[in-house]
Amino acid sequence: MASQDALTGWDDLANAEAYEAFTRTFPMYDITSRDLARRARLETAELVVDLCGGAGATARALLDLLPARARVVSVDAAAAMQEVGRRTLTDPRLRWITAPAEQLGDHLAPGSVDAVVCNSALWKTDTPAVCDAAARVLRPHGRFVFNIGGGFAGVRHPDEETSARPSLNALIRHVAETDHGPLPPPPGPKEPKLPLETITRQLNAAGLHVIDAEVTAQHSTMAEKKAWLSIPLFARPEGDFTHEQRMRILNDAYARTTPDARTVTSWLVITAERQKAAT
């Protein structure tokens, strides 16, 4: 099972509302969701799982792209995220299940799902258990498609070299130290949690075969990055600061940037396929 730490903040209504507003205002989640849907080959799909679906940003894209008869099941452990999603996304083809990703197989029949899509959240799960659960519910040749942030996967797209410098995070740290004194040193480099070799091994153990792995770049702007860091869950700097202090620091740091300056993040996007029926 995933640790309770994985839910810290996600089951808070203020975070959920701010997060959902971000997904509707900025294109990142729609772009990445549509990319995952394309890789899942959903033209003839009847049932698709939006895993760790939050407030429904990926489910919106899936419903837009799926055949009219198809259904989507959005699975997430954070009830607050789904509460916000239920208010804003009322398509009758969508079913909400409040449960950890690792328990997917407890809620859907074996071999009943055409594709499982997970946007931006696999890193916070017990990935071997999630791979097993996805394999169990997928039909033969059904696809499990997901992305992993570059830091967690240990990958870096060449476009990251064109990101604005200094980063907004670096400016936030500079402002915080100027106004409040030295911060603890940032943590040193860590071993990637989910490099391709590790996740491939976990997928294979579950009976899933990687058919494609690609490092992609997500392009955005300083304005979008500021909006992301305005969500309480993601506000910086860490440490003993109130949210109001963090927002003042963020606004000061942002004032030193160009709003439309380009920022780039890297992703490892993996498409895996169920080779035979689950046992």
Residue 167 lies in a domain: no
Give the C-alpha separation, 40 to 115, whole Å.
6
Backbone angles phi, psi at 143, to 5 degrees: -115, 140
Residue 102 lies in a domain: yes
Residue 25 lies in a domain: yes
Stretch 130-150: mean pLDDT: 98
H/E stretch holding 219: strand 208-221
Residue 275 pLDDT class (50, 70, 90 cuts): confident
Convert the pLDDT of each residue in 33-85 to its tens digit. Answer: 999 999 999 999 999 999 999 999 999 999 999 999 999 999 999 999 999 99
* pLDDT above 80: residue 104: yes
Q: What's 33's domain CATH number?
A: 3.40.50.150
Residue 77 lies in a domain: yes
Q: pTM of the full predicted structure?
A: 0.93
Give the C-alpha separation, 40 to 180, whole Å.
48
Residue 169 lies in a domain: no
Give the C-alpha separation, 85 to 175, whole Å.
35
Residue 86 lies in a domain: yes
- Smallest Cα–Cα separation from 3: which of 129, 118, 117? 129
H/E stretch holding 34: helix 28-40
What is the tally of structural domains in the chain? 1
- Smallest Cα–Cα separation from 213: which of 150, 151, 261? 150
* pLDDT above 50: residue 254: yes
Tokens encoding 55: 């407030």
> Domain of 93?
4-157+190-219+265-274
Residue 178 lies in a domain: no
Give the C-alpha separation, 98 to 80, whole Å.
10
Convert the pLDDT of each residue in 161-189 to its tens digit. Answer: 999 999 999 999 999 999 999 999 887 77
Give the C-alpha separation, 69 to 53, whole Å.
20
Residue 21 lies in a domain: yes
